[in-house]
Amino acid sequence: MTSAEIGIIGCAVAGLSAALGVAKAGHRAVIFGHPHHDLAGALQLAPNGFAALETLDCLTEMTPHLTRLNAIEIRSARTNACLSIIDHDAPQRRDYAAIGRGALVTQLYKLAQAHDLIRFCDDSVASITATEQETSLITTADETHHFDLIIGADGQNGIARAFVGSANNTQLITRQALRACLPATDLPQNFSANRTQLWLGDGYHLVSYPYHDPHADRHMINLVLCTDKSLKEPSKIAASLLSTKPVLAPLCDADIAWHAAALPPANQLSSWRRHGVVLIGDAAHFMPPHLAQGAGQTLEDAAQLALALKDAEDIREAARKWAIARQQSLRPIIEKAEATGTIMRLKGPLALIRNAAVEFGGQRLVEKWLSRVWQ
Ligand SMILES: Cc1cc2nc3c(=O)[nH]c(=O)nc-3n(C[C@H](O)[C@H](O)[C@H](O)COP(=O)(O)OP(=O)(O)OC[C@H]3O[C@@H](n4cnc5c(N)ncnc54)[C@H](O)[C@@H]3O)c2cc1C
């Protein structure tokens, strides 16, 4: 097998994990773009994310930065009654944890830096040229680089996604996630419990879980509030939804800075590949965050890529087959993430029926909904 040289656009979770996958397969990678080590907030990693980190030989370095979560507790936002608990310790122990976004990028970056097959170019990519004969990119410093393959890991609005597919981004975006993270000491003790707490409301839902911020060396609480209320004045939206709920009212403190991120509906490309360019991570499969799977599936992309490119004589053909297989296995997960959002956004009597169904179905119902996702 001859070692190929692969250009990777984007230096976040997708780009760094893709580089580790490429290097594990014995090929050389050049990553374009800046790493951001100071990203605020956190994300949850489910068993499939753990398995991918292990395949990429990252789990040992990542483990000290993970905050293990023992369960997902689903509550009614109206009454605070517990509707169901998904216990990650029973019947058997399941890996489930939170990690700071900055910590995840920093650890992946350190591992990539230590690898002799991975190089970095700080410049961003200005354009891509890919035909049957040529696969190249031009950086913002006006330098041209030729590669055997380019991996677009530049997120849902990057140039790689625009190059590969004409995604229809003209839909009116009415949904948003309000995010906040604050020291655990600023909130009542119940927010610090080592579990994901999900409050189902009337047309909205709130997720909270603790994580450790290594930069500030303190315990933090990550909050995500999903709603279809307007993007303006996130703090007022949070107050209007939560102020009458005794357990959630502390989240309406005027000092809490909520940041809004628009949540476009899942918009699946017909193909993740065009000539010598393939997409990975959010560039390939942006999905709403309701299953907490975007980064986990991105790590899985990279782990599967490592297996697909190993011993490959024809790198483009191997990447083509990988993209087709990943796209097929991701489709039902993206659809499930959308469906989960629809269920979580139910209002009025339908919200009450949903809560009754979650309570009646209990752990078994919710586990069944999630088990294929976490495999
Ligand atoms: C509210 C919310 C909560 C979430 N919670 C979870 C969770 O709990 N668990 C989970 O697994 N996932 C979660 N996700 C999803 C997760 O955050 C994303 O799937 C993941 O971060 C995607 O990483 P990425 O590297 O593909 O994209 P990005 O993080 O968007 O990175 C793309 C990178 O490419 C760079 N770039 C762009 N253009 C160029 C260019 N031209 N040249 C060079 N570089 C470029 C950017 O600067 C950026 O660094 C959540 C998402 C949201 C919105």
Question: Is the CB of 292 within 6 Å of ligand 1?
Answer: yes
pLDDT at 169 over 60: no
Output the pLDDT for position 215: 81
Q: What is the pLDDT of residues 203-260, one digit of tens each?
A: 999 999 999 998 888 999 999 999 987 667 888 888 888 888 889 999 998 889 999 9
Helices (H) then strands (E): counts for the chain: 10, 19
**pLDDT band, very low/low/confident/very high, at 92 (cuts 50, 70, 90):** confident
Contacts of 132 (CB under 8 A, 6+ apart): 275
Q: How far is the CA of 82 from the centre of ligand 1 (A)?
A: 32
Kindly state if the Cβ of 23 falls inside 6 Å of ligand 1: no
Indicate the fold that domain 5-66+99-170+266-343 takes in CATH: FAD/NAD(P)-binding domain (3.50.50)
Mean pLDDT computed over 193-200: 97
- Whether 172 shows a pLDDT value over 80: the answer reads no
Beta strands in the chain (DSSP E): 5-9, 28-32, 42-45, 67-68, 71-76, 82-87, 97-100, 118-121, 125-130, 135-139, 144-146, 149-152, 176-183, 196-200, 204-213, 218-227, 259-262, 273-274, 277-279
C-alpha distances in Å from residue 87, one per residue of 70, 131, 283, 292: 6, 51, 33, 17
Domain positions in the chain: 5-66+99-170+266-343, 176-264+344-374
CA distance 188 to 245: 14
pLDDT of residue 86: 93
Q: How far apart are CA 313 and CA 153, in angstroms?
A: 23
Residue 295 Cβ < 6 Å to ligand 1: yes
Q: What is the pLDDT of residue 1?
A: 65
Atom of ligand 1 nearest to the CA of 297: 11
User: Using an 8 Å Cβ cutoff, are 50 and 330 in contact?
Assistant: no
For ligand 1, pick from 108, 282, 330, 374 the residue to mutate: most ligand atoms within 8 Å of CB.
Answer: 282
pLDDT in tens, 1-15: 678 999 999 999 999
pLDDT, mean of residues 146-169: 89
Q: Is 17 in the pocket of ligand 1 (CB under 6 A)?
A: no
Q: How confident is the model at residue 167 (pLDDT cuts 50, 70, 90)?
A: low
Kindly report whether the peptide bond that precedes residue 64 is cis, defined as omega within 30 degrees of 0: no
Q: Which stretch, 38-42, 164-168, 192-196, has highest mean pLDDT? A: 192-196
**pLDDT range class, residue 171, cuts 50, 70, 90:** low
Q: Which residue type, as a one-letter code, is found at position 202?
A: D
Give mean pLDDT, residues 137-157.
97
Cα-to-centroid distance, 262 and ligand 1 (Å): 13
Say if ligand 1 is within 6 A of residue 102 CB.
Answer: no
List the one residue out of 296, 206, 211 whose CA is nearest residue 251. 206
**CA geometry: angle 52, 57, 63, nearest 5 deg:** 80
Architecture of the domain spanning 176-264+344-374: 2-Layer Sandwich (3.30)
Q: Is the CB of 66 under 6 A from ligand 1?
A: no
Q: Is the CB of 12 under 6 A from ligand 1?
A: yes
